[in-house]
Amino acid sequence: MKYLTFIFFLSLFLFLTSYLFAQNNKTTIQNDSLCNKKLNVYFNCPYCDMNFVKNEITFINYVRDQKDAQLYVLVSQMNTGSGGGEYTIYFIGQKEFAGKSDTLKFNTYPDDTEEVIRKGYTNILKMGFMRFVSQTPLAQDISITYTNQDTSNNITAIDPWNNWVVDLYSYFYIKGEESMKYFYNYSSIDAYRVTEKERFNISAYSDFTQSKFKLYDPDTTIISRSNSKKISALYVGSINDHWSVGGETGVFSNSYNNIYYAANIQPTIEYNFFKYSESTRRQLRFKYLISFDYNSYIDTTIYNEKKQMLYSHYLGIAYKVIEKWGSVSATLSGSNYLHDMSKYRCSFYTNLSIRLFKGLSVTVNGQINSIHDQLYLPKQGATPEEILTQQKQLATQYSFYTNIGLTYTFGSMYNNVVNPRFGY
């Protein structure tokens, strides 16, 4: 009897397995046939909600490697004068579509929700795909509809704010345990006006940090405080497609850098090797400024100065490019005080994201500074407690940080399916 029961369940299992396999194989054949009709698209869009895009746009194949794609989609984003964003979407044809390309743009408002933004760029993507989908076998299954929701004439809106936008922000962070308490607050206000020819920006911020540590002796408590404040104004004017001129002025204090009060004026000029209209894809900017600074220090400096008038200049070269193989941005800058050329600072910053070959990408982010201009260091130095709690800047000739990452992906060519279960 036991053997008959075993044979019965084994037969049932084999029957169900073969049935499900046949159904799955049938579905796979149908899906493969449909996939062959769809346009193969590779996305380079760090700003996109790809799960949402895949759910909304089902008439293309989302391929994992750009070499398998007939269409490469590159999306870049820049902030607009209203505080929103401008998404620039590049449709770059490959294989049989080589030489064909389109560029579409989508603008957001500062109070747009994530839902409004992702629906916006998804609709633009749909429109951009039509030129290419129309040349595939799937074109016969595509229909286009138009809904006219605005029947008014084209009337120029009156802006009572004259392009001015104001942002208010405040952030509090508190954490603690029995032997430690930490409090942090950052508050700011920004008012800015951006037009095609000019940019104004007025900003102010306050930054405060306090930490309390209890040592093994319950009667011993170390309290660490640091704060900084700044008010600044910036103006940038456009001369032509490559040149800009302007300047910045401000007053600030910074306990970490021994600054009780400081004020500066910085006239600036900038040249962009490429046109500013191409900034979402590539930039090569040369920036030069002269700075007039007045410093009043909290403690007497290592050069026996309590107050000081300083003159310096700065030159920076910034490069940025976003292409199909990845993106690169780098900035090389240097500054020095005019009264003593040995007091200088040089910095190099880079951010690389490069696709080395199929499936393998490398990302590098880092900065290194050569520091020889710490005129503000306090003469009395810092106590061990101030060093450990990072209340004061210490003498140094360099600083750096870096992070490096490798990503290698292999497997199925297609990734059309979205499965949000368990939050994935």
- Residue 245 confidence (pLDDT) above 80: yes
How far apart CA 305 and CA 309 sit, in angstroms, is 10
- With beta carbons less than 8 A apart as the criterion, state whether 280 and 322 touch: yes
Q: What is the pLDDT of residue 412?
A: 63
**Mean pLDDT to the nearest integer, 106-117:** 77
| Rg of the chain, C-alpha, whole Å | 30
Give the distance between the most distant pair of CA atoms in the chain: 103
Q: What does the pLDDT look like over 346-403, one tens digit per residue? A: 999 999 888 777 778 888 999 999 999 998 888 887 777 777 767 778 889 999 999 9
| Cross-strand pairs, 192 | 165, 201
| Cβ neighbours of 42 (radius 10 Å) | 21
Q: Is the pLDDT of residue 411 over 50?
A: yes
Q: What is the pLDDT of residue 5?
A: 60
Confidence (pLDDT) at 206: 95
Q: Mean pLDDT, to the nearest integer, of 287-312?
A: 94
Q: Kindly tell me if the per-residue pLDDT of 27 is higher than 50.
A: no
Q: Is the pLDDT of residue 269 over 80?
A: yes
What is the bridge-based pairing of β-strands 85-93 and 71-79? antiparallel
261 pLDDT more than 50:
yes
CA distance 18 to 27: 14
pLDDT single digits (tens) 184-226: 999 999 998 888 788 899 999 999 999 888 877 767 778 888 8
pTM over 0.85: no
- 79 has pLDDT over 80: no
How far does CA 183 lie from the centroid of its chain?
27
238 in Cβ contact with 244 (< 8 Å): yes
**Using a CB cutoff of 8 Å and minimum separation of 24, what contacts does 186-190 make?**
190/166
Query: pLDDT band at 30, cuts 50/70/90?
Result: very low
pLDDT grade for 153, boundaries at 50, 70 and 90: very low
Task: State how far the alpha carbon of 313 is from the alpha carbons of 7, 292, 338, 348, 378, in Å.
Answer: 89, 9, 7, 17, 24
- Mean pLDDT over the full length of the chain: 82
In terms of C-beta density within 10 A (0-12 exposed, 13-18 middle, 19 or more buried), how is residue 272 classed? Answer: buried
| pLDDT of 134 over the 50 cut | yes
Q: What is the pLDDT of residue 227?
A: 92
At residue 26 the predicted structure's pLDDT band, cuts being 50, 70 and 90, is very low
- Report the side by side order of strands in the sheet with 198-214: 164-177, 180-194, 198-214, 221-238, 243-254, 259-272, 282-297, 307-323, 326-337, 340-357, 360-371, 398-408
d(Cα 253, Cα 207) in Å, to the nearest integer?
Answer: 10
The arithmetic mean of pLDDT across residues 10-21, rounded, is 56
- What number does CATH give the domain 37-139? 3.30.160
Q: What is the pLDDT of residue 395?
A: 86
Q: Is residue 17 predicted with pLDDT exceeding 80? A: no
Quick: pLDDT tens for 160-172.
878 788 889 999 9
What is the C-alpha end-to-end distance of the chain, expressed in Å? 47
Report the DSSP beta bridge partners of residue 28. none
Task: Assess contact for 43 and 73: CB atoms under 8 A.
Answer: yes
Which are the contacts of 255, defined by CB distance < 8 A and separation ≥ 6? 225, 226, 227, 228, 298, 391, 392
pLDDT beyond 50 at 29:
no
Q: What number is the average pLDDT over the span 20-47?
A: 64
**Model confidence at 13: pLDDT above 50:** yes
Output the 3-class SS for the chain. CHHHHHHHHHHHHHHHHHHHHHHHHHHHHHHHHHHHHCEEEEEECCCCCHHHHHHHCCCEEEECCHHHCCEEEEEEEEECCCCCEEEEEEEEECHHHCCCEEEEEEECCCCCCHHHHHHHHHHHHHHHHHHHHCCCHHHHHCCCCCCCCCCCCCCCCCCCCCCEEEEEEEEEEEEEECCEEEEEEEEEEEEEEECCCEEEEEEEEEEEEEEEEECCCCCCEEEEEEEEEEEEEEEEEECCCCEEEEEEEEEEEECCCCEEEEEEEEEEEEEECCCHHHCCCEEEEEEEEEEEEEEEECCCECCCCCEEEEEEEEEEEEEEEEECCEEEEEEEEEEEECCEEEEEEEEEEEEEEEEEECCEEEEEEEEEEEECCCCCCECCCCCHHHHHCCCCCCCCCEEEEEEEEEEECCCCCECCCCCCHHHC
Statement: residue 423 has pLDDT above 80: no
For residues 45-64, average pLDDT: 82
Nearest in space to 77 (alpha carbons), one of 44, 33, 101: 44
pLDDT band at 85 (very low <50, low <70, confident <90, very high): confident
Asked if residue 10 has pLDDT above 70, the reply is no
Instruction: Count the Cβ atoms, other than its own, within 10 Å of residue 299.
Output: 15
Nearest Cα to Cα of residue 274 among 241, 313, 249: 241
Q: Above 90 in pLDDT, residue 336?
A: yes
